[in-house]
Structure formats: structure tokens, C-alpha cells
Amino acid sequence: MSLIEVRNLCKSFGKLSVLNDVSLNVEEGERIAIIGGSGCGKSVFLRSLELLERPDSGQIFIDGEEITARGADVNRIRRKMGMVYQKFYLFSHMNVMDNLCLAPVKLAGVPREEAEAHAMEWLSKVGLTSKAHAMPDKLSGGQQQRIAICRSLMMKPKVLLFDEPTSALDPTMVGEVLAMIRMLTKHNMTMMIVTHEMNFAREVADRVLFFAERGIYEQGKPSEIFDNPKGEKTIAFIRKLKYFSYEVRQRNFDLLEMQGKIHDFSEKYGLSSRLAYRLALCCEELVYEMISGCYGDGGNVNIDAGISYSEADGTTVIEITAEGKEFNPFNAEDDDDVHLGVSMLRKIAKNITHEYLEGVNRIEIVL
């Protein structure tokens, strides 16, 4: 039995048909990314699962129970789902602990002491124990969204629904929220994520749904959707994102070859010569930093350098992954403690994130 089953879902707003005959099965532990252009029905579909938008017709089953059935205990079935919105919707008059404990205490009858202990477990996992008694207006946007995710988890849902969880954030805060969602994938959490972060969707999803023409236009594994889309509309959407990757498997790798391929990539997609120079320099500096920091004087080298460029908004992202010991070249507080190249990267980057999971360092730099 599927955890979520949608049968022939239809939804219109007046004469505007948004969803037409949409069907989908989601299995327990599955991670689904939903992508598509603005206004294609992604968020309406997600909100329909909780009946925040009431479908015109069709059926929705959550863990075997039909939430759309006449007489269904909608509020009880909803508790099987946790919803994370674009905006955080924390109660501004309550501190973090009260925000987290309200639902389990009031709705599930959990003793306050037990709820607080559970809340502290989640706050510890996301590095926010020091904010347990802070008011929401004292938190950054990224911190508020992480608290909002923790709040959804307090009711121990079967599935988490994310409606563009980073769209309201400053670019410097996006990475911390995405890192938390990555962490949840390690807990085998069933998730459906509406997102515009294509690299993130490619990385964490088991299945990608591309919405167009009032429903699921195409679906498949990330490699199928991003590397070999079939539908005309999918191809047009995906081609707005261009990818470059380079493997480094030995210390004396061919630097000139990597630089040359980066310049070829930049020229092919109309990136400026200045940006091409920065991309080549960033990749060079980071690869050498990771060789030195992750592998020391010996051992095998396993580093991947990737670049993605969005034709839609001009965003360029560098991603470096390196197996080995944990190492973050940007963790020094003073630029005097780091190499000149890393200091330069700090100055030109819009956002830099680092995480270390299961023996792999991942650095992402937005230029």
C-alpha cells in the first residue's frame, strides 16, 4: 500500500483549470522533487494533499485513509503530514520552545516535559539549542525556517511536504535550510518538495515530477529528467540549466585541461570572459585546497568539480565534492589564516556552504 495515493485529481479556480486528472502514488521513504514553471500547479497540488485547497473531484488517500471522503476526520488524517511553507508562519508572540510544543501538547496530549525533550532533540540536530527560548523576530530567516521544519517534525508525521522552502530566504541562508533537508534524507523520511533548486532536486530526489499542462507532464529518476528528458516542454525547461563536471582522481591532474574545458563551457553558453576566469580560478583553488586538506601527503584522490549555470536567472554555482577526512577551507575566522585564493573566494562569492556527510565534503559557492 502506497503512503500517498492520488486518483484523478482536478482543481479549478473559476474558469481557470489548474490540475486535470492528476494521479500519483508515493511510497514510504520515497523523496520526490516537484519542478516546473511558475503557475503550473505545483503548490496547488501539494496544498490539495492536506485539503488546504479543496479539489473539485478525485480522491486522495494518506496511509490508506481517504482524506477526501465524505465524513473523513480531516484534522486527524492531516496529522500524518507535516507542511513547510515558503514563509515560516511561526507564532510571533511565542518563543521557539512554545512554537515547537504547542501542537503535540494541545493536539496530541503529549506531556509538556516530554514535548520539550523531543524539541531539544531536534534543536540539537539542527544546531539551534541556544535559540530554544528566543523569540522568532530575533532569528534569521534561515533559522526561522529550520525551526518551522522542526515544528512539523514534532507531530512525528509520516510525510513532510515542502512548498518552496527556500524561496523567501536571502541567498546567504538557502544553504543551511537545504543542508537540514539533506539531513532528513538520512532518517528515511518520506518527502515531497516543490523547489526551484535544480541541483538540490537532482541530488536528493528518488523521483522528479515535472509539472506542465495542468498536471504531471513527465516524471522519472533525476538522471532521466535532467540528463535525458523526453517531453518537449521538459526539454525546454531543463535546457535553461547548463552543467559542467570534471573528475580529479590523481594529485598531478591536468590543470590546463580543466581550465580549458571551463572556458569552453563558458564560451558555449555566453558567459563573460571575466566570469569564465573566475570559474576556472575558483575550481583550481578549491581542488588544490581539498587535495591538501582531505588527503594530506598520501592516499587516493577522489574529487568532483561541477558548475551549473541557469539561463533563466543567470545564477552560477560551483560545487566541489571530495571524499576523505572532513575539511572546510573556509572555516578560518580571519582571512590572514587562509590562503590568498580562499580569501579571494570569500570576497567574490554571494554564498558559500560546506557540509560533511558520510565521509564526503560538499562545498557550494554561488557567484
pLDDT (0 to 100) of residue 334: 53
| Interval 9-22 mean pLDDT | 92
- Confidence tier at 355 by pLDDT (50, 70, 90): confident
| Res. 54: pLDDT tops 90 | yes
pLDDT (0 to 100) of residue 341: 67
If one compares 319 and 187, the residue with the highest pLDDT of the two is: 319
| Interval 236-248 mean pLDDT | 83
| Res. 240: pLDDT tops 90 | no
| Res. 62: pLDDT tops 90 | yes
| Res. 235: pLDDT tops 60 | yes
pLDDT (0 to 100) of residue 312: 66
Quote the CA–CA distance of 306 and 282 in Å, as a whole number. Answer: 11
For residue 245, the cross-strand partners are: 306
Q: How far is CA 257 from CA 10, 246, 264, in A?
A: 52, 10, 10
pLDDT (0 to 100) of residue 76: 93
pLDDT (0 to 100) of residue 340: 65
Task: Please state the length of the chain.
Answer: 367
Instruction: Give the rounded percent of residues in the chain with a pLDDT score beyond 70.
Output: 96
pLDDT (0 to 100) of residue 232: 85
pLDDT (0 to 100) of residue 332: 63
If one compares 3 and 245, the residue with the highest pLDDT of the two is: 3
pLDDT in tens, 297-340: 777 899 999 998 877 667 888 999 998 889 998 886 555 555 66
Question: How many other CB atoms sit within 10 Å of the CB of residue 329?
Answer: 24
Q: What is the mean pLDDT of the chain?
A: 89
pLDDT in tens, 111-164: 999 999 999 999 998 889 999 999 999 998 889 889 999 999 999 999 999 998
Nearest alpha-carbon partner for 353 in 173, 144, 199 = 173
Measure the N-to-C terminal CA separation of the chain; round to a whole number of Å: 45
Instruction: Give the rounded percent of residues in the chain with a pLDDT score beyond 90.
Output: 56
pLDDT in tens, 64-118: 999 999 999 999 999 999 999 888 889 999 999 999 999 999 999 999 999 999 9
